[in-house]
């Protein structure tokens, strides 16, 4: 990690020393990877707070994770929910005046965060048990869990829940995928592309399908939030497995059914990224450490997430309440992050050029 001691801090420190002040504390106190876990833990407790973006309580069981971190270390937490692109934009806009510590961004955004020099690294003590494709250089991004493409259907409003993209195409479903600038929507397009014979280098099958959907007025522009499923504004949406389980368990006024499409699903992860100018960098590092612990991995699995640690065993009762391996056996893991990132970038461009004009008609 590049040290984050910058000119402004040096000027303030010099001024403080000349004024006879005993000490001045800055967020930057060295490379996180050079510290022991005990040192990080002690410093995190002293910081006492963590500010996240895109990690709300109802996403991937983050609420339970933050509660555990508070119980174990006394660290309080606040989240500002936003999309992956918005998270990185906030890091970039705030720069050295950063107010946020850690974010959770779609797999394709990890390399982008490094390219824009927005993040610092922390490899965690579980580094060797995480596949190479699920981590960036020096731990500048790390994927603790993946999700499988999942249809979440309100069966009180929809006669029969689809179990494949072919069902969607041949039926009259009106489908929500969310903001195309977000990782969830981009992944939905990739998954549909595989279903209709495409790959990461050929996105034409997906766009033929979505062009038809748009022309038939079957794309629902309402966002795929839990609230919008709860109100019935989204009868059927394409989300991640870890959201599908969480939403379905929380929604009591409707019967909800989740299915991983049999003919086109991907496994893609969300990576934790630590702001280069995090005001609480040690707390962010300790939070990531928890995410990769046995307890943290089981917590993610309970929400339908698929842990990335290769040596972790998820309790059977957790699997019974979410997904078993066979449920996502046909899902394609996005192990080539560069190819996946490039495909997602093309998806955004093509969606704006080819689909958005049809939605406006």
Q: What is the mean pLDDT of residues 243-253?
A: 94
Distance (Å, whole) CA 124 – CA 138: 10
d(CA 5, CA 297): 34
Strands 119-120, 142-154: pairing kind: unpaired
* Whether the Cβ atoms of residue 280 and residue 101 lie closer than 8 Å to each other: yes
Instruction: Give the mean model confidence (pLDDT) for residues 294-301.
Output: 95
What do you get for the CA distance between the two ends of the chain, in Å? 49
CA 54/CA 143 separation, integer angstroms = 14
pLDDT at residue 224, as a whole number: 96
| Mean pLDDT across 37-61 | 96
Residue 358 burial (C-beta neighbours within 10 Å; 0-12, 13-18, 19+): middle
Residue 341 vs residue 77, higher pLDDT: 77
| Helices 337-350, 183-195: crossing angle, 10 deg rounding | 100
- pLDDT reported for residue 320: 87
Strand, coil or helix: 52? strand
Task: Return all residues near 74 (Cβ < 8 A) that are at least 6 apart.
Answer: 45, 48
pTM of this structure? 0.75
Bridge partners (DSSP) of residue 143 are 271
Are 80 and 100 in contact by the 8 Å Cβ rule? The answer is yes
Model confidence over 117-160: pLDDT tens digits? 999 999 999 999 999 999 999 999 999 999 999 999 999 999 99
Domains of the chain: 1-30 (no CATH), 32-361 (3.40.190.10)
165, 261 Cβ separation under 8 angstroms: yes
Note the pLDDT tens digit of each residue in 14-38: 333 333 333 333 344 569 999 999 9
Which residues have a Cβ under 8 Å from the Cβ of 106 and sit 6 or more positions away? Answer: 84, 182, 183, 184, 186, 187, 268, 270, 271, 344
Burial class (CB in 10 A: 0-12, 13-18, 19+), 262: middle
pLDDT at residue 249 in the model: 93
- What whole-number distance in Å separates Cα of residue 116 and Cα of residue 273? 13
User: Which element (helix H / strand E) includes 237?
Assistant: strand 236-240
Specify the pLDDT at position 277. Answer: 98
Burial 36-55 (b: 16+ CB within 10 A, else e): eeeebbebbeebeebbbbbb
User: Using an 8 Å Cβ cutoff, are 76 and 99 in contact?
Assistant: no
CA distances from 57 to 51, 140, 286, 300, 349 (A): 13, 23, 18, 12, 31
Q: Which helix (H) or strand (E) holds 258?
A: strand 256-259
Q: Which residues contact 237 (CB under 8 A, 6 or more apart)?
A: 151, 152, 175, 176, 177, 178, 220, 224, 229
Q: How confident is the model at residue 7 (pLDDT cuts 50, 70, 90)?
A: very low
State pLDDT tens for residues 188-224. Answer: 999 999 999 999 999 999 999 999 999 999 999 999 9
Band (322; pLDDT cuts 50, 70, 90): confident
């Amino acid at each position: 990690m590049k040290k984050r001691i910058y000119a402004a801090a040096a000027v303030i420190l010099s001024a403080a020393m000349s004024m006879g002040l005993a000490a001045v504390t800055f967020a930057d106190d060295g490379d996180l990877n050079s510290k022991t876990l005990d040192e990080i833990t002690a410093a995190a407790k002293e910081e006492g707070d963590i500010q996240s973006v895109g990690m709300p309580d109802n996403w991937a069981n983050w609420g339970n994770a933050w509660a555990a971190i508070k119980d174990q270390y006394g660290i309080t937490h606040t989240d500002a929910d936003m999309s992956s692109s918005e998270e990185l934009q906030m890091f970039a806009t705030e720069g050295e005046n950063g107010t946020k510590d850690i974010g959770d961004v779609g797999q394709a955004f990890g390399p982008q965060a490094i390219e824009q020099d927005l993040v610092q690294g922390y490899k965690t003590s579980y580094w060797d048990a995480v596949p190479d494709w699920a981590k960036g250089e020096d731990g500048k991004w790390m994927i603790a869990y993946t999700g499988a493409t999942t249809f979440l259907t309100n069966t009180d409003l929809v006669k029969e829940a689809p179990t494949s993209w072919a069902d969607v195409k041949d039926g009259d479903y009106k489908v929500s995928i969310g903001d195309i600038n977000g990782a969830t929507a981009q992944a939905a397009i990739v998954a549909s592309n595989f279903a209709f014979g495409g790959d990461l280098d050929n996105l034409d099958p997906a766009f033929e399908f979505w062009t038809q959907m748009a022309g038939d007025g079957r794309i629902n522009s309402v966002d795929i939030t839990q609230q919008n499923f709860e109100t019935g504004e989204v009868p059927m949406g394409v989300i991640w497995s870890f959201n599908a389980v969480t939403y379905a368990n929380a929604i009591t006024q409707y019967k909800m059914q989740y299915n991983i499409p049999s003919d086109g699903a991907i496994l893609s992860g969300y990576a934790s990224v630590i702001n280069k100018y995090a005001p609480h960098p040690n707390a962010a590092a300790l939070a990531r450490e928890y995410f990769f612990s046995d307890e943290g991995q089981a917590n993610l699995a309970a929400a339908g997430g698929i842990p990335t640690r290769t040596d972790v065993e998820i309790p059977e009762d957790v699997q019974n309440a979410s997904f078993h391996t066979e449920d996502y056996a046909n899902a394609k893991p996005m192990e080539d992050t560069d190819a996946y990132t490039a495909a997602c970038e093309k998806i955004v461009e093509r969606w704006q050029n080819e689909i958005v004009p049809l939605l406006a008609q």
